[in-house]
Amino acid sequence: MKTFDEQIEDVLRQKSEWPGSADFLWENISGQIEMKPEKQSFRRRSFWMGAGAVATIFLAFMLYTMLNTPVLPPVVPEEPQLARMQMFSAIMLTEPEVYLPGEQVELILTSHPVDNWNEGQDLSLTIWKDVEAEQSMVSRSTLPHELIRGQDSAFVQSPMDPGLYRLVVEGSFMDGDQRISVFGEKTIRVEGERFDETSEKD
Amino acid sequence: MDITERELIKQAKEGKQDALEQIFRNHIDSAIRLAYLICRNWATAEDAVQEAFLQAFRSLDSFQDDRPFKPWFTKIVVNKAKRTKDRLDRGHVPYENEEPNPHRAYAPEEHALEQEGINALFQAINELDEKHRLPLLLKYVSGLTEAQIAETLSMPASRVKSRLYVARQRLKKYIAILEGGGQNEDI
């Protein structure tokens, strides 16, 4: 007599016999994988070397300026300016990941329970485009809670137009009696031809 | 992760096509079964798995060599399959449940009663809500351990253990009701 575990395993195996072909599926997949040329890693390495050099020069300049500037009362920049500076430095010092138009982008999420929630309650995806260091909002859409609940990441689609973007997922949802606040963001560069989203053929 | 798979991942990161194909062949069976049991449609399951492999291969650089590949990849499969299932639920693509598989050989030794039991158990599994059904599929189709299921579903192992227990209890209860009897602990 089979154990209950074995029965479940057998039933699921029997009810999921694939009528398709692994060879055919592999042909489709291998045709869409871009093989990495060696120079790509060199290009990445040289990018980081360049970024490191720029950062070092920048820090040296800051240090020099600090040491040679008389002490003045601190000037606190206005909030929009501060936000723009943070955004600018983030873009300058980190390498944005490159995606094809329409490709799936994974955003790592941080979440924590909240007691008093005063902000908007819907989960939303906001896409900002960077044009000459100025941010403009391209779109804002509501995300279904089910896409995020129980996950530590969310998959969203990259914009169709080439450019530098910041994708932000934020909001909250109810998990039982507890409200959970979620946040995730990623700066990406979109370039190349449209991503072949095979599932759209359905 | 055994040394062979670790070596395969290393070669795949270097862009070796043979290594990518071997990884694909090692994982296609459980991935396609899992995707089908989530979206219940072969065409969309194939699409989901294809997307999952493409995403996994394109993200290999971010994969940490010292971690097991299967839970990481299974998480991608689950996400892709759930998204396609959402499309099914919105009515764009029909479910193709209960269709006999034309590739499956006819087995005259299968008694009608046995087949009835198989169908009943499968129906019971499909009646489970997703939060109990998914850990069950990951255990029995993907062969993941409770710790790996916890990692895949981003939840504590204790919750996985509890959900598996509840799922099994509900299956037993459902089967007992279908059989018209009391609690049958054998099935």
Exposed / middle / buried, residue A120 (Cβ in 10 Å: 0-12, 13-18, 19+): exposed
Whether the CB of B44 is below 8 Å from some CB of chain A: the reply is yes
DSSP-derived 3-state class of residue B107: coil
Whether the CB of A32 is below 8 Å from some CB of chain B: the reply is yes
Q: Is residue B35 part of a domain?
A: yes
Whether the CB of B104 is below 8 Å from some CB of chain A: the reply is yes
Q: What is the pTM of this model?
A: 0.54
Domains of chain A: 96-194 (2.60.40)
- CA–CA separation, B47 and B44 (whole Å): 5
| CATH label of the domain that carries residue B161 | 1.10.10.10
Q: Considering its fold, how many domains does chain B have in total?
A: 2
Residue of A nearest to B120 (CA): A11
Which residues 107-146 in chain A show a CB within 8 A of chain B?
Answer: 144, 146
Range of the domain at B120: 110-187
Question: Is the CB of A199 less than 8 angstroms away from the CB of B44?
Answer: yes
Q: Which residues from A are below 8 Å from B36, CB to CB?
A: 16, 18
Same-domain status, B145 and B87: no
Residue A1: pLDDT band (50, 70, 90) is: confident
pLDDT at A201: 39
Whether the CB of B63 is below 8 Å from some CB of chain A: the reply is no
> A55-106, pLDDT tens digit by residue?
888 898 888 887 776 655 555 555 554 455 455 444 444 578 888 888 888 8
Same-domain status, B127 and B85: no
Give the ipTM.
0.82
Question: Is the CB of B36 less than 8 angstroms away from the CB of A147?
Answer: no
**Domain boundary, last residue among B97, B123, B149:** B97
Q: Is residue B104 part of a domain?
A: no
Least Cα distance to B26 among B56, B47, B48 occurs for B56
pLDDT at B146: 93
Whether the CB of B89 is below 8 Å from some CB of chain A: the reply is no
Same-domain status, B17 and B90: yes
Question: Is the CB of B83 less than 8 angstroms away from the CB of A155?
Answer: yes
